[in-house]
Structure 1
Amino acid sequence: MSDGSYPSSEMDTDRFAVIAAPRPRRWTNAIIIAVMTLAVAVVAGIVYVAISSAKRMQDAAPPPVATQEPLLQPSSSRSPSRAPLSTTTTTTSSTTSDLKPVSGPAGLTVSLPPSWSVHAGAVASNREATDPGEASRLIRFGGNPGGSGSLFDITARNETRNTAISTGYQRVRLDKIAFGGASEAVDWEFTFTKGGKPTHARGVYWRIGNTDYVVYISSSEASWAESAEIFDSVLASAQPR
C-alpha cells in the first residue's frame, strides 16, 4: 500500500548513494606541488654548480704578466728629462743606407739594414731584427688587434707592470704624438738595466682602425746615439702609417 512517498528501500538506496560519493583527494595536489618544488630546486642547483665552476676556473687563471721588453699599460710620476725628438728625422748615416723592406705582422712593412738578421719575435704580433755588428741592438716591429682602452693607457701600464724593464727604470719621455694617419700615437723612451748593463730603448706605438702598430728599438747606452739614428730611419719607412 502506497501513500505517495518513496518506499523505505529506495530511500535507503539514495541515502547510501550520497554517503558513498567520492571526496576530493587533497593529498594528490600536495604530491603535485612537492614534485614541482623538487624540480625547481634541481634546476637551481644545476645552475648554481655551473656558475660556481666557471668562477673557480676564472679565479684560477693567472693574470698576464709582461716578461720581455715592451711591444705594445696608469703612468708613473717620473717626468721626461728632455724634449721629444721628431719622429720624421732623416739621416745620411752609412748604417742606415741601402735599407731593405721587410714585412711584419698585421701588414706592417719597415726598411732595415740588409745585414740584419730578421726572425720571429717572442710573440706572434711582432718580428725581431738584430744587428750583427752590435750584439745589444735589436728592433721589434709588428701589429695586433687594438685593445679596448686608449693606446696611451695600454702603453703606460708597461711602466709599472713589465718586469723585463723594472731594474733601474727611468722614463725619458711618454708622450702622445701626431703620427701619419694614425688616430692615436704614443712615443715612449726610457732607460733601464739589462744584464747588469745600462740600456736605452724607444718605441713608437700607433693605432689605425682596429690595429695597433709598433716600432721599438733597444741597445746599450754606449751605442744609443747610433741606435737613435737607425730608429728614426726605420720609423720613417714604416707602412701603414
Structure 2
Amino acid sequence: MSSRWLASSLVVAYAGVSAAVGIVLLNAPKDPVALDAPAITYVDVPPPGEATPRQGSGPSRVSLPAPAGFQRVTGPAGLVTAIPAGWLISRATGPGALQATDPTDPLRYLRFGGSPAPADDLLRSHEEYEARFSPPRRDYQRLSLGTAAYRGTTAVDWEFEHETAEGPRTHVRSMYWRAGGVEYFIYAASPATRWAETAPIYSTMIAQSTTP
C-alpha cells in the first residue's frame, strides 16, 4: 500500500466525518419572541473535577459542560438540558414549556420543561391526550407510543407525523417522565424531510437532561 494511497484515503475519511458533524450542528425553528429575563437562566458549569451531583429523585446526574455546538439552559420546573447554540428561545403554548426555534427554519423547534403531574397513569394520560390531539390533525400517523426506561424511571416515548397548514409534513418525537410530583418533557419537531438531521439534537437533549 503506497503512502500516496494512504494519504488520499485519510483525506476522504476526514472530509466525510467533517460533513457529518456539520449536519448535526447546523440546526434550528420559529420567529423569535421576546422573553422576559426570569423565564430562562443558564447553568453555571463548575470547573473540571468540581462537578457535584444534582440532588433529588428522578433522572439526575452531574452537571457537565454542554457538547460542542450546544448550550445548557434551565427550563420550567428546573429541567436542565442542552439545545443548539444560537437557537431562539420563547415561551411555548401549554403549561411549563419553553421553545427553542431554529433561526434559519421556523418549522424546526424544540420544547422542554415541566409542570405538576396529573393524577392519571403516565401512559394512560398520553393515550387519552392522543385521542383528543390526533383527530384535528390531517393524516395523523402514530409511529410509537409506549413506555421506556429512562435512568431508572418509567417514561413515555411518543413519536408521530402529520400534515400541517404550513405545507410540509411534520415529524415529532417527545419523551415524558415524572419525578417529585412534576411531569417533565423533551419534544422536537421538524419537517419530516429534515428529521434525520433533527433526531441527533433530540437525542442530545435527552442525554443532557437533568431534574432538581
TM-score range, shorter chain: 0.5 to 0.7
Q: Take 2:25 and 2:119, find their aligned partners in 1: how far apart are those partners?
A: 41
Identify the residue that residue 237 of structure 1 maps to in structure 2: 208
User: Which 4+ runs in 1 deviate beyond 4 A?
Assistant: none
SS of alignment partner, residue 153 of structure 1: helix
> Does the aligned pair in 2 maintain the 1:165–1:194 contact within 8 Å?
no
5+ residue gaps, structure 2, are 1-19, 27-66
Alignment partner of 1:188 is 2:165: no
Q: Take 2:181 and 2:79, find their aligned partners in 1: how far apart are those partners?
A: 14
SS of alignment partner, residue 143 of structure 2: strand
Q: Relative to 1, partners in 2 of residues 1:107 and 1:175: Cα closer, same or farther, differing over 3 Å?
A: same
Structure number with higher helix proportion: 1
> Does the aligned pair in 2 maintain the 1:127–1:140 contact within 8 Å?
yes
Identify the residue that residue 224 of structure 1 maps to in structure 2: 195
Q: Take 1:130 and 1:123, find their aligned partners in 2: how far apart are those partners?
A: 16
Alignment partner of 1:158 is 2:89: no
**CA RMSD after TM alignment:** 2.0
Q: Which amino acid in structure 1 is aligned with residue 157 of structure 2? A: D
Aligned residues: 150
User: What TM-score comes out, normalization by structure 1 length?
Assistant: 0.58
1:165 positional shift = 6.0
5+ residue gaps, structure 1, are 1-90
Q: Take 1:122 and 1:140, find their aligned partners in 2: how far apart are those partners?
A: 10
Q: Take 1:205 and 1:123, find their aligned partners in 2: how far apart are those partners?
A: 14
Structure number with higher strand proportion: 2
Q: Relative to 1, partners in 2 of residues 1:180 and 1:209: Cα closer, same or farther, differing over 3 Å?
A: same
Pick which of 118-127 and 160-169 moved more: 160-169
Report the structure number with the largest CA radius of gyration: 1
Identify the residue that residue 25 of structure 2 maps to in structure 1: 94
Q: Which amino acid in structure 2 is aligned with residue 94 of structure 1? A: L
User: What TM-score comes out, normalization by structure 2 length?
Assistant: 0.66
Q: Share of identical aligned residues, percent?
A: 33
Q: Take 2:135 and 2:103, find their aligned partners in 1: how far apart are those partners?
A: 23
Q: Which of these residues, 94, 107, 125, is aligned with residue 123 of structure 1?
A: 94
Q: Which of these residues, 81, 90, 98, is aligned with residue 110 of structure 1?
A: 81
Q: Which amino acid in structure 2 is aligned with residue 133 of structure 1? A: T
CA shift digits 1:101-158 (9 cap, x unpaired): 1111111011111110011111341001100122210111000111111110111122
Q: What does 1:63-82 correspond to in 2, within 5 Å?
A: none
Q: Which amino acid in structure 1 is aligned with residue 168 of structure 2? A: K
Alignment partner of 1:199 is 2:130: no
